[in-house]
Amino acid sequence: MSPEASNGKHHARKRFTLFTEGDLLYRDMLARIGEARHEVLLESYIFADDEIGRRFAERLAERARAGVRVRVHIDAAGSLFWSSRALTKEMAADGVEVRWFHRWDWRRPWRYNRRNHRKLLVVDGRAAWVGGFNIHRENSLSVYGRERWRDTHVGFGGELAATARRLFEDIWRRRRGTPLPGPDADGNVLVSNYARGGRRYMNGLFRRLLARASHSIHLTTPYFVPDQRTQNLLGAIARKGVEVHLLVPRKSDVRLARWAAHAVYAPLLDAGIHIHEYLPRLLHAKTVVVDGRHAMIGTSNIDYRSFFLNYELNLFTRDAELCRQLETQFQEDLQCSEAVTSSRWKRRFWGHRILELIGWLARRWL
């Protein structure tokens, strides 16, 4: 199925729009930015100075020149080797308010390690997008080609978009005391771990999502370095007879993270968890579907950095159509994956085990 065809079904949605192709997502975001009348709010872990980043910079600058208030929040560590001072200076010259999150400061060096990993766009407080897509050419079929990254994003409006706007304001203004958002009338909740108590709340929601499974958990993550508590939870769920399927990349842009993930394969396989490695290209999506009826989609990986260090933003939903689409996408990805078997894994080369140990020892810094 072609990328355009596979995403066509997503555009029929009224409440949520699911994106798995960067070109379609960027086209939608750029169009809505171009229609902005009052305000554009953008956060990105990576905002690259490349063909895609330039498209966004030009559209944002155009709206700023038209009198729309445009604010852009870029993570300093995440964009270190991707963005450029020239790009941000050009946007600022046209009236875009650009802010770098946690730039290096020798007086507070440890702050640099706590990153804003969120990817968020809010237009006029009425439309919002969140997910795993950064702003760079690696996500574009038309620019990067068939090896583009495989990712997932979701767009929405209404009450959740208003919540997204407030969550942007909180981190922009360094407000950590605002109340944690509750679910909307349909049980959907958009959660950031930036607020005071938000990290415990988000991690608790994630674990409760897994614990409610009665027959299946389908988890997709590019960086799988779970803490012991999460490993124990997944193992206990699988031992109860729940089909737990984990989809991770065969190719990775962070080799240490892949080695660290391999360090936990053996106990998870022994617990009955099914591990699949995605083959065609780099997998960057972050989704969980439980029993086909509950889901999480957002920016969090299943690793130490997302659980304990980075600032993240996730949508927890029970929307039937969105859950169905995420489940369908998982099954499509599974067809392009190879299962990791316990017997094969036990025969791996001893040198591989040394690399696993190196990755595991570095897990808190990946």
Write out pLDDT tens, residues 155-189.
Answer: 999 999 999 999 999 999 999 988 898 888 899 99
If asked whether residues 165 and 195 sit together in one domain, one would say no
In a domain, 182, yes or no: no
Tokens representing 334? 């599974």
CATH number at residue 161: 3.30.870.10
Distance CA 180, CA 182 (A): 7
Tokens representing 119? 């990817």
Of 111, 141, 172, the one marking the end of a domain is 172
Tokens representing 51? 């063909």
If asked whether residues 114 and 19 sit together in one domain, one would say yes
If asked whether residues 10 and 112 sit together in one domain, one would say yes
If asked whether residues 357 and 220 sit together in one domain, one would say yes
In a domain, 181, yes or no: no
If asked whether residues 160 and 254 sit together in one domain, one would say no
If asked whether residues 30 and 78 sit together in one domain, one would say yes
Lowest-pLDDT range of 102-116, 161-175, 236-250: 102-116
In a domain, 179, yes or no: no
If asked whether residues 118 and 220 sit together in one domain, one would say no
Of 126, 143, 172, the one marking the end of a domain is 172
- The pLDDT tens digits for 216-225 are 999 999 999 9
Residue 346 parent element (H or E) = helix 342-346
pLDDT of residue 182: 86
Which burial class, exposed, middle or buried, applies to 339 when counting CB atoms under 10 A from its CB (0-12, 13-18, 19+)? exposed
Tokens representing 223? 């960086």
Has residue 300 got a pLDDT over 90? yes
Which burial class, exposed, middle or buried, applies to 294 when counting CB atoms under 10 A from its CB (0-12, 13-18, 19+)? buried
pLDDT of residue 364: 67
Q: Using the Cα atoms of residue 134, residue 78, residue 252 and residue 366 in order, give the sign of their dihedral.
A: negative
pLDDT of residue 357: 64
Higher pLDDT, 264 or 47: 47
Contact 296, 206 (CB under 8 A): yes
Q: Which amino acid is at 236?
A: A
The number of angstroms, rounded, from the C-alpha of 315 to the middle of its chain's C-alpha atoms is 10
In a domain, 183, yes or no: no
If asked whether residues 214 and 348 sit together in one domain, one would say yes
If asked whether residues 211 and 159 sit together in one domain, one would say no
pLDDT of residue 12: 38
Domain enclosing residue 314, as ranges:
189-365
If asked whether residues 167 and 296 sit together in one domain, one would say no
Strands 69-75 and 313-317: unpaired
- State percent of the chain over pLDDT 70: 91
In a domain, 344, yes or no: yes
Of 138, 172, 206, the one marking the end of a domain is 172
Domain count of the chain? Answer: 2
At how many degrees (to 10) do helices 350-361 and 255-262 cross? Answer: 110
Taking CA atoms, 95 is separated from 26, 70, 253, 324, 344, in Å, by 22, 8, 34, 42, 57
Q: Which amino acid is at 109?
A: P
pTM of the shown model:
0.92
pLDDT of residue 30: 98
In a domain, 139, yes or no: yes
In a domain, 254, yes or no: yes
If asked whether residues 136 and 62 sit together in one domain, one would say yes
Has residue 343 got a pLDDT over 80? no
pLDDT of residue 251: 86
If asked whether residues 151 and 216 sit together in one domain, one would say no
In a domain, 9, yes or no: yes
